[in-house]
Amino acid sequence: MDKLNIVAPVRSKFMMEEMIEAGANEIYFGVSNPLFQQMSFDNKFQTVADYPAHFSDWEDLDDIMSMAKTHQMKVIFMANTPFIPNNLETSFQHHVYRALEKGVDAITISSMQALNLLTNVERDTQIISGSQLAPVNKYGAEMLTELGVSRITVSQSMTLEEIQSLRDLDVELMITGNFGTGSIANCCRLWESPNNGEIGEGVRTLYRILSPLNNQLKQHHILDSATDCSLCNLEDLVSAGVTAIKFIGREAPNPVTLAMVVSMFNEWKEMGVSGFSIEQKMKVMEQEQLMWIMKWVPRFCEKCRCTYKSTAITKTYI
């Protein structure tokens, strides 16, 4: 557990200070680009509910880089758009190279196209495959490592045994924690748009399902990953080879609350290092005043909804 790195989002100096206080080991961010009206080169909306999702000025990174160096934190730059128009490929490269000039340690990409465009990146810069380029088996992971990827975001569809099979590869393994599809098995990957009410909000919402048997229209949760967590399974995931857990939320309305989520996972990790049992950890967490503020409550459901262990899951079709 002591080798588990906690990767937190940052979009401002204030948010950086909060994540340092919460105990994050690594931070990640993006920088907005005027070439796009809505989305940037990291597949993130420029604003979400009027909150910025990126740094808007490259000069703002100077303080962030200085703070990261002082606290010995790895800095990850997000360049994980799944598609880059041909006429913007050179602009994408310049965007990434500018981040490298600022001193970032790693680049997250989410397409083979981006990986090919960054073949000339210096060897000491880590390349990370994002969730949209997550391999679903060992063969996909082998291919990515052969192409220079040294940290892989594990697909939520992989079992613990399949994750463990990747330990033979010379690659770091990362899961996505707290809310989001991340390490939740069998989640839908429907597109989310905070700016368009006609496009759903991924697994955090209800979807209308038309039954093929009786043509009845009902609303169902696909898996409420907004209230699931990976806490109870962190030990199993680390034992399987996971070395990092990344938290979603650059656009979070309240960075303080998100930092509390990070702090809780960090506390769970530290209790694991100290030899606490899961039952002891759960008792401590249930006494915390944390998430009751943000209405995201670790349910400790004992149903292993967020584990990779074999469970009976009914598949529905939209």
Residue 214's pLDDT band (cuts 50, 70, 90): low
**pLDDT given at position 51:** 75
Q: pLDDT (tens digit, 9 = 90+) per residue, 106-118?
A: 999 999 999 999 9
Which residues are within 8 A (CB) of 213 and not within 5 positions of it... i.e. 6 or more apart? none
- Distance (Å, rounded) from C-alpha 117 to C-alpha 35? 18
Mean pLDDT of 149-161: 84
pLDDT at 154 over 60: yes
**pLDDT given at position 132:** 84
pLDDT at 289 over 70: no
Residue 316: helix, strand or coil by DSSP? Answer: coil
Looking at per-residue pLDDT, the higher value among 49 and 155 belongs to 155
- Distance (Å, rounded) from C-alpha 185 to C-alpha 279? 23
Average pLDDT, rounded, for the chain: 77
All domains in the chain, ordered by first residue? 5-184+226-286 (3.20.20.70)
Looking at per-residue pLDDT, the higher value among 216 and 190 belongs to 216
Q: pLDDT (tens digit, 9 = 90+) per residue, 91-111?
A: 999 999 999 999 999 999 999
Looking at per-residue pLDDT, the higher value among 138 and 293 belongs to 138
Residue 210's pLDDT band (cuts 50, 70, 90): low
DSSP 201-249: BGGGSEEEEE-TTT--EEEEES--TTS--SGGGHHHHHHHTEEEEE---
Q: pLDDT (tens digit, 9 = 90+) per residue, 236-274?
A: 888 889 999 998 888 777 888 888 888 888 888 889 888
Which region among 73-77, 87-91, 143-147, 246-250 has the lowest average model confidence (pLDDT)? 246-250
pLDDT at 9 over 90: yes
Looking at per-residue pLDDT, the higher value among 231 and 280 belongs to 280
pLDDT at 183 over 50: no
User: Quick one: how far is CA 35 from the chain centroid?
Assistant: 25
Looking at per-residue pLDDT, the higher value among 6 and 83 belongs to 6
**pLDDT given at position 54:** 87
Which region among 38-52, 153-167, 260-274 has the lowest average model confidence (pLDDT)? 38-52
Torsion sign across C-alpha atoms 198, 29, 258, 181: positive
pLDDT at 134 over 90: no
Do the beta carbons of residue 141 and residue 166 sit within 8 Å? yes
**pLDDT given at position 167:** 87
